[in-house]
């Protein structure tokens, strides 16, 4: 199975990835993990396709679990909030359609904690905090996630402030 974690900075993607990998290791399952920051290019399509190819080569073919920490849904958010161009939008829908069916077993999980939680987490990491930007990015992740989940069964948004990491692990496992 492939789990793709999405959400704004500070949403808990890396924490959830670590907890999933730990749980699956306890169950004797091999898990591959890849963390991706936002692409630095205005042409990220190739980068995202390479990430998917990596996931398929490493874990999917062998029957292992794969966790990708940040993939492509941010491309529906960051061009608006960070005022940067992207060429990914025309191919994104095709990519989503292509891997939303068998033989792929892919679940997109969008984490969307409350703004106060995001601010606290970013401050703990000594990162720059712009509450308006955080609010807008959270809103857009939820909006884009709701739109995608209305079209694809394998996209789920969690308002993570109401979940512990352990509860999220159980919820994500329940998606498969």
- The model carries a pTM of 0.82
Q: Rounded to whole angstroms, how far apart are CA atoms 80 and 104? A: 30
Q: Which tokens belong to 162?
A: 């109401």
Give residue for tokens 């069964």.
153
Compute φ and ψ for 101, nearest 5 degrees. Answer: -125, 170
Mean pLDDT of 33-44: 69
60-83 pLDDT, tens digit per residue, is 666 788 888 887 777 777 777 776
- Count of beta carbons in the 10 Å neighbourhood of residue 132: 9
Q: Is 77 helix (H, G, I), strand (E, B) or coil?
A: coil
- What is the average pLDDT score of the chain? 80
- CATH number at 2-111+136-173: 3.40.50.300
99-118 pLDDT, tens digit per residue, is 655 556 788 899 999 999 89
Q: Which tokens belong to 156?
A: 């789920």
């Amino acid at each position: 199975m492939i789990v793709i974690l999405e959400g704004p900075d500070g949403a808990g993607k890396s924490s959830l990835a670590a907890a999933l990998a730990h749980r699956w290791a306890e169950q004797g399952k091999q898990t591959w993990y890849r963390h991706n920051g936002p692409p630095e290019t205005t042409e990220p399509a190739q980068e995202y396709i390479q990430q998917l190819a990596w996931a398929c080569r490493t874990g999917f073919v062998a029957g292992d679990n794969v966790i990708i920490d940040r993939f492509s849904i941010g491309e529906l958010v960051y061009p608006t909030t960070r005022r940067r161009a992207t060429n990914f939008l025309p191919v994104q829908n095709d990519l989503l359609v292509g891997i939303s069916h068998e033989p792929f077993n892919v679940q997109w999980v969008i984490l969307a904690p409350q703004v106060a939680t995001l601010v606290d987490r970013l401050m703990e990491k000594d990162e720059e905090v712009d509450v308006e930007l955080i609010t807008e990015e959270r809103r857009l992740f939820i909006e884009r996630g709701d739109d995608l989940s209305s079209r694809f069964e394998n996209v789920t948004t969690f308002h993570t402030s109401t979940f512990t990491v352990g509860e999220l692990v159980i919820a994500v496992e329940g998606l498969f």
